Amino acid sequence: MSKKEYRYVGKNTPRKDARGIVTGSAEFIDDHKFNNMLHACSLKSPHAHARILSIDTSDAEKLPGVHAVITHKNIPEHCRDWKIGMPGFRGILDETVAFVGDGVALVAAETKEIAETACELIKVEYEVLPALLTMEEALDPSSVKIYPQLKPHNEIPKDIEFAGEQFMCDLYRGDVEKAFEESVYIVEDEAEYNSLPSPMAAEPPGVVVNCDENNHFEVWATSQGGYYLRMMCGFRMPNVDMDVYTLNTGGSFGNKQSLQSTVSYAMLLANVTHRPVKLFLTKAEQLLVHDLRLGNKIKVKVGLDKDGFVNAVKGQWLVDSGAWSDVHHVQLGVGLGEMQLALCKCKNWDMTSHVVVTNHDPTGCVRGFGGQELKAALLPTVNKLAEKANINPLDFYSKNFCSSGDEYVWRDRHLWTAFETEYELAMRTAAKKFNWDEKWKGWNVPTRVEGNKVYGVGLAVHGNADVGEDNSEAYVRLDGTGHAVLHCAITESGMGQRNNSAKMVAEVLNIPFENVKITPGNTAVNPWEFGLAGSRGTLTTATACVRAAEDARRQLLELMSDVLKFPAEELDTKDGMVFVKDNPEINCPWIAAMQPFGTDITGHGQWTAAYSHPNFCSLFVEVEVDLETGVVKLVDLTGGTDVGQIIDPKTLEMQFQGGFGSAGTDTAINEEHIIDDNTGRIVTHNMIDYKWRTFNDFPPFEQVILEGQPDISKFRAVGFGEIAGSPGPSAIMMAISNAIGKHFCQYPATPDTVLKALGKC
């Protein structure tokens, strides 16, 4: 379908929050002040695995200004069934600590300094237990159990019912053994994507919690989804009555969703003190104790048929959850689903997963969410097949990626059929802009050699059907002055989704953009909204908003039909006036349709989860490898996608660039956490030792964004931002392999690993 011209959609619109952000007047949670607010601090375990033999808090309790000290011994009785992780296999504070930084005691005091001093006064005696820092150690039957109730040995149950849904944790389809017999090429390999990077959003995780005398909690959090946080707390904390308030969030990158330990600690203290309690992590704490990306390893066998299609995949996927995770079961389903999208012509699958607890930091939500982890390890192995068959990777991934009519099992265990999913043009257009045909010289062949510098190119693809995940609901309320109020629990965490949703409401109602207001993103006044995750905001959240605006518009025209004496279908509206389409001179303002004292019109809109239209991103990269030092540099980058209809060009450009680093593409080169093998402590706990790319080191980045206009929603738009950096890691592994002339897959590609691959160290 040809692209339609709109009043606002597809055009750059100044963000409603822009002035506040650039002038510093925009309010963030850390700016929010409360009367009688206390400050919280946690005493953190110095050991990766230990049993608390004794704990003496008497000196801390005597310190002036201290209002509460909580340990596993004195948690209020009605809070003892509050758990952490999924399923809840340990208390929020426990007799056994499971990683360096695990909570031992919580303090609430008049100032943060007093709380920190009180923590220093607490005396703890530990029995140090063996620390299991790798999945192999944890799975060894001779090793200790981190949690005695987990069976089999140190494995978390993966088959969990969550919000009424059973998630896919293993994938069995077709006849794998027969497919291998019919394969022309077969590759078996082991690989890992296991560097445990931290997304490191600019604003650290933080929360302020108030608990009134009726045990109703009000939670102000840096979460990117208020309802999501409330839902996760509901699973871990039975019968808790709470509302969540979100203001501006200073970035999340998928990583500040449930904030499980931070929120849980503050809720315990607020429940004891019945005063507002503030707990904000420092940047060091964000690196030391906040959720990391899942670790993962795979052992896999892949087959290719005579036509160049992957036709069989069999393997095991080991997932390292760290001390706990609250979303591993969902990440398994999404990862297995996204794997199918990349190789969607394959009908024969046998993939099993195992989720293992270890004694390092917990893991949780990070953008790429399961699929980036699995595919960063899997696709380099798949590339060996294309190499054996001597297929250009552009042709290989163009023909194997999901297209209309292909089937895949998504996280909900249902078989879905791709609808209006055509991305080959976007991929090939990006390849042309990158000059792929000239740069590609063959598998394990450098593009060029300049002295001790060799250059190679690589590509990868990524897609996610979670653009349609979960349910959303919105209201749009009209008043007689030509204004509208959008009621939707959208949190602004940097992506511009609040602005874009308001823009679409203005488009439906045909009113000035400035006449649309949005309610604050909280659960107290807004209907259900899952939250901005999985690139879902454009298709799901915005569609609910659009449908609410359409419902309000319908009601308005029906009421005005009585006023103007014309059928509703012959009426239209613009800028707060309703008029007859064929005779615009016959018109009335909106107020004429409402009661004398201004009764509002409220429209209602919903989106129900659907997984039939995945999104897409391809990344083409060129790297430089120094054969003497082993240093890898990313020197050129082109991304390609088709978003259906661009809502706001600048916002989309920001999304494409913003997804590049922060636990995204640069996990292939430098982003990793290093854990001391002896102590289990993260040693990369500051912005110097944790290596990531600065703005000054951003590589040339071209973008190809097509607008294919799929018939999936009113504005035919597909969400994109979450996957922008996800193809990068495996694309860079291909590029390094081609540059150095041999297969390479080591995350991150640090100088020592490259030199080792070259036989130089």
pLDDT tens track for 414-443? 999 999 999 999 999 999 999 999 999 999
Among 448-452, 530-534, 641-645, 673-677, the minimum mean pLDDT is found in 530-534
**Structural domain includes residue 183:** no
Q: Residue 70 pairs with which residues in a beta bridge?
A: 106
CB atoms within 10 A of CB 381: 23
Give yes or no: residues 418 and 520 share one domain: no
Give yes or no: residues 557 and 678 share one domain: no
Radius of gyration for the chain, computed over Cα atoms and rounded to the nearest angstrom: 27
Summarised one tens digit per residue, pLDDT across range 63-78 is: 999 999 999 999 999 8
Find the CATH number of the domain harbouring 67: 3.90.1170.50
Residue type, 483: H
Find the CATH number of the domain harbouring 562: 3.30.365.10
Place of tokens 């659907």: 610
Among 47-56, 325-334, 455-464, the minimum mean pLDDT is found in 325-334
> Strands, DSSP E only, in 214-306?
216-221, 241-245, 277-280, 295-304
Region 349-363: mean pLDDT is 96
Give yes or no: residues 320 and 243 share one domain: no
Give yes or no: residues 268 and 327 share one domain: no
**Structural domain includes residue 9:** no
Q: Are 258 and 365 in contact (CB under 8 A)?
A: yes
Backbone angles phi, psi at 658, to 5 degrees: -65, -25
Report how far residue 556's alpha carbon sits from residue 553's, in angstroms, rounded to the nearest whole number: 5
**Structural domain includes residue 176:** no
Give yes or no: residues 622 and 722 share one domain: yes
Specify the pLDDT at position 33: 84
Report how far residue 473's alpha carbon sits from residue 489's, in angstroms, rounded to the nearest whole number: 9
Specify the pLDDT at position 698: 87
Q: Are 588 and 389 in contact (CB under 8 A)?
A: no
Report how far residue 748's alpha carbon sits from residue 302's, in angstroms, rounded to the nearest whole number: 24
Place of tokens 């919105």: 474
Specify the pLDDT at position 32: 85
Q: How confident is the model at residue 88 (pLDDT cuts 50, 70, 90)?
A: confident
Give yes or no: residues 301 and 244 share one domain: no
Q: Residue 116 pairs with which residues in a beta bridge?
A: none
Sheet of 601-607, strand order:
516-518, 484-487, 472-478, 601-607
Last residue of a domain, one of 607, 625, 645: 607
Summarised one tens digit per residue, pLDDT across range 365-379 is: 998 999 999 999 999
**Structural domain includes residue 402:** yes
Distance, CA of 214 to chain centre: 34
Residue type, 537: G
Structure-block tokens of residue 100: 């360096």
% the chain with pLDDT above 70: 99
Summarised one tens digit per residue, pLDDT across range 255-277 is: 998 899 999 999 999 999 999 99
Number of domains the chain contains: 3
Give yes or no: residues 566 and 533 share one domain: yes
Sheet of 571-574, strand order:
571-574, 577-580, 583-589
Give yes or no: residues 656 and 718 share one domain: yes
Structure-block tokens of residue 23: 């002038």
Average pLDDT, the chain: 94
Specify the pLDDT at position 660: 77
Structural domain containing residue 597: 18-27+470-607
Give yes or no: residues 502 and 444 share one domain: no
319 Ramachandran zone, left/alpha/beta (phi>0; psi -120 to 50) = beta
Last residue of a domain, one of 264, 289, 314: 289
Burial of 82 (0-12, 13-18, 19+ CB in 10 A): buried
Task: Check whether the bond before 87 is cis (ω within 30° of 0).
Answer: yes
pTM: 0.96
Q: Is the pLDDT of residue 527 over 80?
A: yes
Q: Is the pLDDT of residue 246 over 90?
A: yes
**Structural domain includes residue 595:** yes
Q: Is the pLDDT of residue 598 over 80?
A: no
Q: What is the largest CA-CA distance in the chain?
A: 86
Region 201-209: mean pLDDT is 95
Give yes or no: residues 236 and 105 share one domain: yes
Distances from the Cα of 556 to the Cαs of 81, 382, 567, in angstroms?
50, 56, 12
Q: Is the pLDDT of residue 164 over 80?
A: no
Closest by CA position to 603, among listed 737, 487, 703:
487
Closest by CA position to 540, among listed 588, 492, 611, 602:
611
Angle at 142 between CA 151 and CA 317, to 5 degrees: 55
Give yes or no: residues 457 and 367 share one domain: yes
Region 612-632: mean pLDDT is 97
Give yes or no: residues 442 and 476 share one domain: no
Fill in the DSSP letter of residue 244.
E
Specify the pLDDT at position 110: 98
Specify the pLDDT at position 596: 61
Region 5-25: mean pLDDT is 93
Last residue of a domain, one of 607, 642, 672: 607
Among 151-165, 196-210, 558-572, the minimum mean pLDDT is found in 151-165
**Structural domain includes residue 492:** yes
What is residue 78's three-state secondary structure? helix
Region 452-464: mean pLDDT is 98
Residues 6+ away with beta carbon under 8 Å from 74? none
Q: How confident is the model at residue 584 (pLDDT cuts 50, 70, 90)?
A: very high
Report how far residue 538's alpha carbon sits from residue 748's, in angstroms, rounded to the nearest whole number: 32
**Structural domain includes residue 167:** no
What is residue 626's three-state secondary structure? strand
**Structural domain includes residue 13:** no
Specify the pLDDT at position 214: 86
